[in-house]
Structure 1
Amino acid sequence: MQQPLKYLGIMVETEPLRKKILKPYVLSNSTPMKLYSFTPLSIHWRTGLVRGLEYIAGTWRERMFPFPHVVYNRCYNRESLLFKRIEQVIGKGRCFNHTNYWNKMDMIRFLSQSLPDHIPETYVYRPQDLLMLSEKHPLMFFKPSYGSKGTGVYRSERKPEGSYWVGLHYNRPMAVLEQQTEWVVYLESLIGSKSYIVQKGISSISHPSLRIFDIRALLQKNRQGNWDLTNLISRIANEGSYNTSICDDIHPTAFWLRTFLTESSKNTVLHEILQIGMQTAHMLDSLGMGSGEFSIDFMLDEHLHPWIIELNGSPQKELYENMPERRIVYQRPVEYAAYLARSNG
């Protein structure tokens, strides 16, 4: 007996994104599910239909679809009422990644409960605390509470002679402040009333190229509904930059570490990152945020100790374009959607 057709709806923010985001998932689909992309504004609540876009045999077609059996959220927002309304139609637990716009301080506090040895000292930004923090930490990073790709992240370093160097994206300062009070006023002018955190800088391991790198762990749920570490990549910051989002070079982490570590040291680092990643994944499940994937950015210090720099609730897939077996990055969410469709009837 032929099984009824089941749809996965990939929800994106705007119509121009529908083709770009949908296509790689369709081309990597190894399940019987049919895929279409749609926006929140294309939902027709009265009729129970959705105006979506599908890609079949090299042809794009826009039409009205029934409500999907599962929704994979690729919007980056904090709207929760929309997802509650969707789940009232398709069933609870069938919309995944519905909470993916994470407050950095909230996540750090949560992770610190179980992983305190891997979280740099972090504070809510308050101008009145800056003098105390500058005495405690010569190197600090000021980050927006919400944000990605290193946007608005400032680096501040107190030099041995007492001056303060403040930079954006690059180690080269955009301002040198001779007095502590000047430094406070300057930071206030940059940040204003925006919500920021302050994080202790990590003395990262020196690569022979002297370029800063990170380790991004992509974790996704699989066809059995369990967490897997899908991929580990390292973004190599451009020369003179501390922002690994500004990079021309991306390599599989195992390859990159092999260029300057022994095989034993490399394997130890990879194993520890796997353990931290899986522990983080299960902790996120306990929050009930419906996560089906996320990524963690790590930095290694001089002792090869991994530090969690950031969690990303909506991982960038473009980073994997030139990586081996890139298809699995797109396969996993569809396989997880098929699992949800089966397990929820």
Structure 2
Amino acid sequence: MSNRTIVLGIAVAAVKEAAGAEPAMPEPAFCRALSRAGAPLGIGVYVFAPDGYEPETGVLHAFRLEGGRWAKRAVPLPDVVYDRCFSSEPGQGIRCRSALAAMAERKPHIPLNGRLPGKLAVYDSLKDDPALSGHLPSSLGFRSAEQLLRLAGAHEGGIVLKPSSGMQGRGIVHIKRGQEGEKVRVNGRTRQNRPFAAEFEAGRPFARWAARFIGRRTYFVQPYLELSGADGKPFDVRALLQKGGLGDWTLSGIAVRSGQAGSLTSNLHGGGAAEPAAAALAAKFGGEESERLLEQIHTISKQTAIRLEGRFGRFAELGLDFGIEPDGKLWLLEANTKPGRSSFRMIGDERAERLSIERPLLYARYLSSRQYTSFAANESVNGRRVNAKFANPLRPFNVQEVHR
């Protein structure tokens, strides 16, 4: 492997600058941690936004950590790009993709992580896998308010309406018919992540609300699952699967996230809290059952990564969210290619937090040394090799692997 410094650019949607103030960027603690961890590994790290690139000249202005402070500098174009663009405003996603495409025309770079399509397309790619199908809630694309009323009446617990490209629990709604079927109760979170609850008459009043709430966005429908503990707080399990310096998948950490009592979601951005997975699951299900669940989560995580890479191409990391019903039934709820790490910091899992930062850097170095080139999502379908290796041998899940 070459001893040259690898240049890793962290792409973010925007960096706000003000005279005399520290630049305000998304995920500041994560960006700082990556910058500090990169130098000992021979990786130069900077943070850039789309407006920092000048296509006419090929000059990129980015932010480097110098003496503990962010300094804006003209920098060489990156060898590897770590896409952490989260769109909070219209057009941000397009601007990010356009800037990355223009930079690649000037100098090709390696995307660290791939992208997944909408959640319904991800479900369709997994549902035929025998190892996964029994752990996937049935999902249907939204078609009409009448469809919602019919499905809500067919499921005793009601249904959940989810945005296909949503994140952080935003825009998720639980819809349930009243006992007589004439009323419809809805509760969930707005697109601004504020909790709400309302009741409508079935028919036009509900249809008008659904049209306003959904708008032109793509939504899908799932049966409502009882994913709360005895305390009434919803909870899920976040597993962070990453590749490291050998290019194989490893579970970096796992945590239980609990929401507020009566809330629909357990996302940390919605006011939730995090707990160590082994202790939290043992308290809810007992020691023996919690070990079974953790092994199952590890096995399903591995198979999900293999399946998604076979369908959509190479990935560096996946955040997988699991729900567990009171009887111990495990559900795979979501796969995320831009996972957060804050839950590990909240539970004091220093090892998982460290690995979650180091492994993307090690994988970036691995990719650069192998001179991997990017490929489109459908190239794996056309027969190109997909890098979906796992550590050999892959041991069954061991709690000590994550929480020691």
Q: 1:95 to 1:161 in 2, by over 3 A?
A: same
Q: Say yes or no: does 1:54 pair with 2:81.
A: no
Task: Pick the aligned partner of 1:149 from 165, 168, 176.
Answer: 168
Deviations 1:206-244 (A, max 9, x none): 523221101111111111111111111111111221211
TM-score, length basis structure 1: 0.88
Q: Say yes or no: does 1:269 pair with 2:289.
A: no
Q: Say yes or no: does 1:211 pair with 2:233.
A: yes
Equivalents in 2 of 1:339, 1:116: separation in Å?
33
Secondary structure class of the residue paired with 1:17:
coil
Deviations 1:138-175 (A, max 9, x none): 311111121111111111122444343211249x9722
Q: 1:288 to 1:87 in 2, by over 3 A?
A: farther
Task: Pick the aligned partner of 1:36 from 42, 46, 62.
Answer: 46
Correspondence for 1:343: 370
Q: How many residues align?
A: 341
Q: Aligned ranges for residues 56-205 of structure 1 at < 5 Å? A: 56-76=66-86, 77=93, 82-88=99-105, 90-91=107-108, 94-99=110-115, 102-114=117-129, 115-127=132-144, 128-138=146-156, 139-162=158-181, 163-169=183-189, 174-177=197-200, 179=202, 182-204=205-227
Q: 1:113 to 1:80 in 2, by over 3 A?
A: farther
How far 1:98 moved relative to its partner?
Answer: 4.5
Q: Give the counterpart letter for 1:188 in structure 2.
A: A
8 A contact 2:282–2:289 mirrored in 1: no
Q: Give the counterpart letter for 2:112 in structure 1.
A: F
Q: 1:108 to 1:70 in 2, by over 3 A?
A: same
Secondary structure class of the residue paired with 2:10:
strand
Equivalents in 2 of 1:255, 1:28: separation in Å?
30
Q: Give the counterpart letter for 1:33 in structure 2.
A: I
RMSD between aligned alpha carbons?
2.7
Q: Give the counterpart letter for 2:37 in structure 1.
A: S
Q: Give the counterpart letter for 2:147 in structure 1.
A: D
Q: Give the counterpart letter for 1:154 in structure 2.
A: V
* Percent of matched pairs sharing the same residue: 26
Deviations 1:50-87 (A, max 9, x none): 22211134243322221222111111336656545544
Q: 1:64 to 1:177 in 2, by over 3 A?
A: closer
Q: 1:219 to 1:174 in 2, by over 3 A?
A: same
Deviations 1:303-345 (A, max 9, x none): 3121122222211233333231222211111111111111118
Q: Say yes or no: does 1:223 pair with 2:216.
A: no
Q: Give the counterpart letter for 1:332 in structure 2.
A: R
Equivalents in 1 of 2:319, 2:83: separation in Å?
15
Unaligned residue ranges in structure 1 (runs of 5+): none
Equivalents in 2 of 1:310, 1:123: separation in Å?
15
Secondary structure class of the residue paired with 1:216:
strand
Q: 1:116 to 1:342 in 2, by over 3 A?
A: same
Q: 1:247 to 1:341 in 2, by over 3 A?
A: same
Higher deviation after alignment, 329-338 or 280-289: 280-289
Q: Which fold has the larger relative contact order, with Cα–Cα distance below 8 Å and residues 6 or more apart in sequence?
A: 1
TM-score, length basis structure 2: 0.76
Q: Give the counterpart letter for 2:295 in structure 1.
A: H
How far 1:45 moved relative to its partner?
Answer: 4.2
Q: Give the counterpart letter for 1:291 in structure 2.
A: F
Equivalents in 1 of 2:279, 2:253: separation in Å?
12
Secondary structure class of the residue paired with 1:260:
helix
Q: 1:134 to 1:207 in 2, by over 3 A?
A: closer
